[in-house]
């Protein structure tokens, strides 16, 4: 599981140097956590699921400011469909359902979320959402802006929508790895049913 020290990888300068630290200290946690929840996903969707870990191979100069992993139903990638993400910025770890980079049936899925907005409104109050996966800003799911964000996903070509939970770097939960693990797993227990319904809406399952 992540620890307070996990966030220190973002203090390492240089692309190659930071990637060494990410591979050593972050990616094994990605694999451990997502492999542990993969059976739940497969049971829910009735298909094989696949774990993907970002390698940042297109980068040639700048070190990544965040890094992430995903579960999807596509063996070759994840961005073409809704997916479950686990990632880390220098300030927090995030656990999201992610709709980014114009996935197939994006408008259909956005309409599904708008028609079923109560499924998001009924999530615990510490859930958040993001409108752009390339920046660290996120917003409380209770702030009244969710519907507008989903509408933007549907109507704007570069629109994105992610939602789930974050755990900040200074959270006391990191001092108890078992408690942190349970919190992460609980978050995905909330997300997997919504993820499954999104896949159904888009005829992915």
pLDDT digit string, tens, across residues 20-33: 999 999 999 999 99
Hunting for tokens 């996935």 — which residue is that?
103
SS3 130: strand
Contacts (Cβ under 8 Å, ≥6 apart) of 192: 37, 40, 41, 44, 84
pLDDT tens sequence across 68-81? 999 999 999 999 99
In the predicted structure, residue 142 carries a pLDDT above the cut 90? yes
Say how far apart CA 199 and CA 78 lie, in whole Å. 13
Q: How confident is the model at residue 4 (pLDDT cuts 50, 70, 90)?
A: confident
Cα 14 vs. chain centroid, distance in angstroms?
Answer: 25
The full length of the chain comes to: 205
pLDDT value, residue 26: 98
Structure tokens at 64: 């990544």
Burial of 57 (0-12, 13-18, 19+ CB in 10 A): exposed
In the predicted structure, residue 97 carries a pLDDT above the cut 90? yes
Hunting for tokens 């774990």 — which residue is that?
51
In the predicted structure, residue 110 carries a pLDDT above the cut 90? yes
Q: What is the pTM of this model?
A: 0.96
Buried b (16+ CB within 10 A) or exposed e, 108-146: ebbebbeeeeeebeebeeebbbbbebeeeebeebeeeeb
């Amino acid at each position: 599981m992540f620890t307070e020290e996990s966030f220190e990888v973002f203090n390492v300068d240089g692309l190659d140097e930071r990637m060494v630290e990410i591979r050593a200290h972050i990616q094994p946690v990605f694999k451990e956590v997502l492999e542990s929840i993969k059976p739940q996903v497969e049971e829910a969707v009735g298909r094989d699921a696949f774990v993907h870990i970002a390698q940042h191979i297109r980068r040639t100069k700048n070190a990544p400011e965040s890094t992430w992993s995903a579960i999807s139903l596509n063996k070759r990638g994840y961005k073409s469909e809704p997916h479950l993400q686990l990632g880390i910025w220098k300030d927090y770890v995030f656990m999201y359902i992610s709709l980014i980079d114009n996935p197939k049936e994006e408008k259909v899925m956005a309409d599904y979320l708008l028609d079923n907005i109560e499924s998001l409104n009924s999530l615990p109050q510490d859930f958040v959402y993001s409108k752009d996966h390339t920046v660290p800003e996120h917003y409380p799911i209770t702030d009244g802006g969710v519907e507008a964000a989903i509408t933007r996903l549907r109507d704007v070509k570069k629109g994105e929508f992610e939602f789930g939970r974050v755990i900040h770097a200074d959270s006391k939960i990191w001092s108890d790895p078992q408690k942190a693990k349970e919190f992460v797993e609980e978050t995905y227990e909330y997300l997997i049913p919504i993820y499954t319904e999104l896949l159904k809406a888009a005829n992915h399952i």
